[in-house]
Amino acid sequence: MKPLALFGGTFDPVHLGHLSVSWEAAELLDAEVRLMPAHVPPHRHAPTASPAQRVAMLRAALQGQSRLTLDTRELEREGPSYTIDTLRQLRAEQGDRPLILLLGADAFAGLPSWHGWRDLFDYAHIGVLNRPGIDAAWSVELAFEIASRRVSDPELLHDTPAGKVVELEVTPLEISATRIRELLAEGRDPRYLLPAGLFDEPSLLAPYRH
Ligand code: ATP
Protein backbone atom coordinates (compact mmCIF):
# COMPACT_ATOMS: atom_id res chain seq x y z
CA MET A 1 0.00 0.00 0.00
CA LYS A 2 1.25 3.50 -0.81
CA PRO A 3 2.28 5.55 2.24
CA LEU A 4 -0.12 8.23 3.39
CA ALA A 5 1.47 11.68 3.71
CA LEU A 6 -0.12 14.55 5.62
CA PHE A 7 0.69 18.16 4.91
CA GLY A 8 -0.70 20.35 7.66
CA GLY A 9 -0.87 24.11 7.80
CA THR A 10 -3.05 27.13 8.14
CA PHE A 11 -3.41 27.58 4.36
CA ASP A 12 -4.35 31.23 4.89
CA PRO A 13 -4.49 31.17 1.86
CA VAL A 14 -3.25 28.00 0.12
CA HIS A 15 -0.63 29.07 -2.46
CA LEU A 16 1.43 27.59 -5.28
CA GLY A 17 4.31 26.90 -2.88
CA HIS A 18 2.11 24.51 -0.88
CA LEU A 19 0.76 22.83 -3.99
CA SER A 20 4.04 22.47 -5.83
CA VAL A 21 6.06 21.08 -2.91
CA SER A 22 3.34 18.67 -1.84
CA TRP A 23 2.90 17.49 -5.43
CA GLU A 24 6.63 16.85 -5.75
CA ALA A 25 6.63 15.11 -2.36
CA ALA A 26 3.86 12.81 -3.61
CA GLU A 27 6.06 11.90 -6.56
CA LEU A 28 9.30 11.48 -4.61
CA LEU A 29 7.62 9.36 -1.91
CA ASP A 30 5.16 7.58 -4.20
CA ALA A 31 2.55 8.49 -1.59
CA GLU A 32 -1.02 9.67 -1.32
CA VAL A 33 -0.85 13.26 0.01
CA ARG A 34 -3.59 14.95 2.02
CA LEU A 35 -3.61 18.65 2.78
CA MET A 36 -4.87 19.08 6.31
CA PRO A 37 -5.92 22.57 7.42
CA ALA A 38 -5.43 23.31 11.13
CA HIS A 39 -8.22 24.73 13.27
CA VAL A 40 -6.57 26.63 16.11
CA PRO A 41 -2.84 26.49 15.39
CA PRO A 42 -1.15 26.16 18.78
CA HIS A 43 1.98 28.14 17.83
CA ARG A 44 0.68 31.05 15.87
CA HIS A 45 -1.62 34.00 15.42
CA ALA A 46 -5.24 33.40 14.38
CA PRO A 47 -5.74 33.02 10.63
CA THR A 48 -7.31 35.91 8.69
CA ALA A 49 -9.80 33.66 6.86
CA SER A 50 -12.29 31.47 8.73
CA PRO A 51 -12.02 27.66 8.66
CA ALA A 52 -14.88 27.50 6.12
CA GLN A 53 -13.20 30.09 3.91
CA ARG A 54 -9.86 28.27 4.04
CA VAL A 55 -11.55 24.99 3.11
CA ALA A 56 -13.36 26.69 0.21
CA MET A 57 -10.01 27.96 -1.09
CA LEU A 58 -8.42 24.53 -0.72
CA ARG A 59 -11.30 22.89 -2.59
CA ALA A 60 -10.96 25.40 -5.42
CA ALA A 61 -7.18 24.90 -5.47
CA LEU A 62 -7.34 21.11 -5.64
CA GLN A 63 -9.77 20.88 -8.52
CA GLY A 64 -8.71 19.09 -11.67
CA GLN A 65 -6.33 16.54 -10.13
CA SER A 66 -6.62 13.60 -7.74
CA ARG A 67 -3.13 13.16 -6.33
CA LEU A 68 -3.54 15.80 -3.63
CA THR A 69 -6.67 15.54 -1.50
CA LEU A 70 -8.17 17.36 1.46
CA ASP A 71 -8.54 16.08 5.04
CA THR A 72 -10.61 18.38 7.25
CA ARG A 73 -10.55 16.28 10.44
CA GLU A 74 -8.69 18.92 12.47
CA LEU A 75 -11.30 21.53 11.62
CA GLU A 76 -14.03 19.18 12.76
CA ARG A 77 -12.42 18.76 16.18
CA GLU A 78 -12.87 21.27 19.01
CA GLY A 79 -9.87 23.09 20.43
CA PRO A 80 -6.24 23.21 19.34
CA SER A 81 -5.00 21.01 16.53
CA TYR A 82 -2.27 18.97 18.14
CA THR A 83 -0.58 16.96 15.42
CA ILE A 84 0.14 14.13 17.84
CA ASP A 85 -3.61 13.60 18.39
CA THR A 86 -4.25 13.60 14.65
CA LEU A 87 -1.49 11.07 14.04
CA ARG A 88 -2.81 8.79 16.79
CA GLN A 89 -6.22 8.86 15.14
CA LEU A 90 -4.75 8.19 11.70
CA ARG A 91 -2.64 5.33 13.02
CA ALA A 92 -5.76 3.72 14.50
CA GLU A 93 -7.47 4.02 11.10
CA GLN A 94 -4.61 3.02 8.85
CA GLY A 95 -3.10 0.00 10.64
CA ASP A 96 0.56 -0.52 9.65
CA ARG A 97 0.44 1.74 6.61
CA PRO A 98 3.46 4.09 6.55
CA LEU A 99 2.38 7.58 7.62
CA ILE A 100 4.53 10.57 6.68
CA LEU A 101 4.20 14.01 8.17
CA LEU A 102 5.35 16.58 5.60
CA LEU A 103 6.87 19.76 7.00
CA GLY A 104 8.49 22.74 5.33
CA ALA A 105 12.05 23.31 6.54
CA ASP A 106 10.90 26.23 8.73
CA ALA A 107 8.19 24.17 10.40
CA PHE A 108 10.63 21.29 10.93
CA ALA A 109 13.18 23.59 12.60
CA GLY A 110 10.41 24.63 15.02
CA LEU A 111 9.40 21.05 15.86
CA PRO A 112 10.86 21.04 19.42
CA SER A 113 8.24 23.62 20.42
CA TRP A 114 5.40 21.23 19.52
CA HIS A 115 3.35 19.41 22.12
CA GLY A 116 4.76 15.87 22.53
CA TRP A 117 7.14 16.27 19.60
CA ARG A 118 9.37 13.31 20.37
CA ASP A 119 6.34 11.00 20.39
CA LEU A 120 5.50 12.01 16.79
CA PHE A 121 8.11 9.52 15.60
CA ASP A 122 6.15 6.65 17.15
CA TYR A 123 3.31 7.39 14.76
CA ALA A 124 4.84 8.77 11.57
CA HIS A 125 7.92 9.40 9.49
CA ILE A 126 8.78 13.00 8.73
CA GLY A 127 9.48 14.34 5.26
CA VAL A 128 11.23 17.73 5.31
CA LEU A 129 10.62 19.97 2.29
CA ASN A 130 13.28 22.52 1.52
CA ARG A 131 12.09 26.10 1.58
CA PRO A 132 14.17 29.11 0.52
CA GLY A 133 14.33 32.47 2.26
CA ILE A 134 13.69 31.28 5.80
CA ASP A 135 15.79 30.49 8.85
CA ALA A 136 15.74 26.72 9.15
CA ALA A 137 18.67 26.06 11.49
CA TRP A 138 18.26 22.95 13.63
CA SER A 139 18.63 23.20 17.38
CA VAL A 140 20.98 20.80 19.15
CA GLU A 141 18.04 18.82 20.60
CA LEU A 142 16.44 18.43 17.17
CA ALA A 143 19.71 17.38 15.52
CA PHE A 144 20.31 14.90 18.35
CA GLU A 145 16.83 13.39 18.15
CA ILE A 146 16.94 12.81 14.40
CA ALA A 147 20.58 11.71 14.08
CA SER A 148 19.67 8.02 14.17
CA ARG A 149 16.46 8.49 12.16
CA ARG A 150 17.74 10.19 9.01
CA VAL A 151 17.67 8.29 5.73
CA SER A 152 18.53 9.62 2.28
CA ASP A 153 16.36 7.34 0.14
CA PRO A 154 12.62 8.15 0.30
CA GLU A 155 11.90 4.53 -0.68
CA LEU A 156 13.04 3.41 2.79
CA LEU A 157 9.92 5.02 4.24
CA HIS A 158 7.85 2.28 2.60
CA ASP A 159 9.43 -0.42 4.76
CA THR A 160 8.27 0.64 8.23
CA PRO A 161 5.20 2.47 9.53
CA ALA A 162 7.00 5.33 11.34
CA GLY A 163 10.17 6.73 12.87
CA LYS A 164 12.42 7.95 10.03
CA VAL A 165 13.26 11.41 8.71
CA VAL A 166 13.99 12.16 5.05
CA GLU A 167 14.86 15.47 3.43
CA LEU A 168 13.02 15.83 0.14
CA GLU A 169 14.68 17.95 -2.54
CA VAL A 170 11.75 19.81 -4.01
CA THR A 171 11.94 22.78 -6.38
CA PRO A 172 12.57 25.79 -4.13
CA LEU A 173 9.77 28.34 -4.30
CA GLU A 174 10.02 31.45 -2.18
CA ILE A 175 6.28 31.94 -1.72
CA SER A 176 4.58 32.57 1.62
CA ALA A 177 1.01 33.21 2.68
CA THR A 178 2.24 36.19 4.72
CA ARG A 179 3.54 37.90 1.58
CA ILE A 180 0.38 37.06 -0.34
CA ARG A 181 -1.81 38.54 2.43
CA GLU A 182 0.31 41.70 2.32
CA LEU A 183 -0.04 42.01 -1.46
CA LEU A 184 -3.80 41.49 -1.35
CA ALA A 185 -4.17 44.01 1.49
CA GLU A 186 -2.31 46.56 -0.67
CA GLY A 187 -4.83 46.01 -3.44
CA ARG A 188 -2.39 44.04 -5.59
CA ASP A 189 -3.32 40.92 -7.51
CA PRO A 190 -0.75 38.11 -6.93
CA ARG A 191 -2.24 36.03 -9.72
CA TYR A 192 0.69 33.75 -10.41
CA LEU A 193 1.52 33.02 -6.78
CA LEU A 194 -1.92 31.52 -6.17
CA PRO A 195 -3.85 28.72 -7.87
CA ALA A 196 -5.97 30.11 -10.70
CA GLY A 197 -9.16 28.73 -9.13
CA LEU A 198 -8.90 31.30 -6.32
CA PHE A 199 -9.52 34.09 -8.83
CA ASP A 200 -12.58 32.47 -10.42
CA GLU A 201 -14.82 33.24 -7.45
CA PRO A 202 -14.23 36.80 -6.09
CA SER A 203 -15.52 35.92 -2.61
CA LEU A 204 -12.64 33.47 -2.03
CA LEU A 205 -9.96 36.14 -1.62
CA ALA A 206 -12.30 38.76 -0.10
CA PRO A 207 -11.08 38.11 3.50
CA TYR A 208 -7.66 39.51 2.58
CA ARG A 209 -8.73 42.60 0.66
CA HIS A 210 -9.33 45.86 2.51
P1 ATP B 1 2.41 32.08 6.69
O2 ATP B 1 3.24 32.96 5.78
O3 ATP B 1 1.04 32.58 7.01
O4 ATP B 1 3.19 31.63 7.91
P5 ATP B 1 3.01 29.74 5.03
O6 ATP B 1 3.16 30.23 3.63
O7 ATP B 1 4.25 29.42 5.81
O8 ATP B 1 2.10 30.75 5.86
P9 ATP B 1 1.50 27.57 6.20
O10 ATP B 1 0.09 27.23 5.91
O11 ATP B 1 1.85 28.16 7.50
O12 ATP B 1 2.04 28.51 4.98
O13 ATP B 1 2.44 26.33 5.91
C14 ATP B 1 2.03 25.00 5.98
C15 ATP B 1 3.23 24.13 5.69
O16 ATP B 1 3.70 24.44 4.37
C17 ATP B 1 4.43 24.36 6.61
O18 ATP B 1 5.04 23.10 6.86
C19 ATP B 1 5.34 25.23 5.77
O20 ATP B 1 6.69 25.09 6.13
C21 ATP B 1 5.09 24.70 4.38
N22 ATP B 1 5.32 25.67 3.30
C23 ATP B 1 4.63 26.78 3.05
N24 ATP B 1 5.11 27.42 1.97
C25 ATP B 1 6.16 26.68 1.52
C26 ATP B 1 7.10 26.82 0.43
N27 ATP B 1 7.05 27.87 -0.39
N28 ATP B 1 8.03 25.85 0.28
C29 ATP B 1 8.09 24.80 1.14
N30 ATP B 1 7.24 24.61 2.18
C31 ATP B 1 6.29 25.54 2.37
> Across the chain, what does the average pLDDT equal?
95
- 125 ligand 1 Cβ < 6 A: no
CB 157 within 8 A of CB 3: yes
- pLDDT for 88 equals 97
Mean pLDDT of 159-182: 97
Domain limits for position 34? 4-208
Number of domains in the chain: 1
CB 158 within 8 A of CB 123: no
Q: Which atom of ligand 1 is nearest the CA belonging to 10?
A: 10
Higher pLDDT: 42 or 8? It is: 8
Mean pLDDT of 190-202: 95
Residue 153 above 90 pLDDT? yes
Higher pLDDT: 79 or 125? It is: 125
**Longest alpha-carbon distance in the chain:** 50
Q: Which range, of 1-10, 76-85, 90-99, 158-167, averages the lowest pLDDT?
A: 76-85
Q: How many whole angstroms separate alpha carbon 70 and alpha carbon 135?
A: 28
Q: How many whole angstroms separate alpha carbon 114 and alpha carbon 103?
A: 13
Q: Is 128 helix (H, G, I), strand (E, B) or coil?
A: strand
- 11 ligand 1 Cβ < 6 A: yes
CB 24 within 8 A of CB 171: yes
What is the distance in A from the centroid of ligand 1 to the CA of 41?
A: 13
Residue 42 above 90 pLDDT? no
The share of the chain scoring above pLDDT 70, in percent, equals 98
CB 120 within 8 A of CB 126: yes
What is the distance in A from the centroid of ligand 1 to the CA of 104?
A: 6
- pLDDT for 78 equals 79
Q: How many whole angstroms separate alpha carbon 208 and alpha carbon 99?
A: 34
pLDDT in tens, 50-105: 999 999 999 999 999 999 999 999 999 877 779 999 999 999 999 999 999 999 99
- 83 ligand 1 Cβ < 6 A: no
Please give the model's pTM, rounded to 2 decimal places. Answer: 0.96
CB 18 within 8 A of CB 47: no
- pLDDT for 40 equals 66
> Could you tell me the CATH number of the domain that includes residue 109?
3.40.50.620
- pLDDT for 46 equals 86
- pLDDT for 130 equals 96
Bridge-based pairing state of the strands 32-37 and 4-9: parallel
Q: What sections of 96-170 are H helices per DSSP?
A: 105-109, 120-123, 140-146
Mean pLDDT of 156-172: 97
Q: Is 25 helix (H, G, I), strand (E, B) or coil?
A: helix
Q: Which atom of ligand 1 is nearest the CA belonging to 130?
A: 29
Residue type (1 letter), 64: G
Q: Would you tell me how many other CB atoms lie within 10 Å of the CB of residue 33?
A: 26
Residue 207 above 70 pLDDT? yes
- pLDDT for 45 equals 77
- pLDDT for 41 equals 56
What residues have CB less than 8 Å from 191, skipping those under 6 apart?
Answer: 199
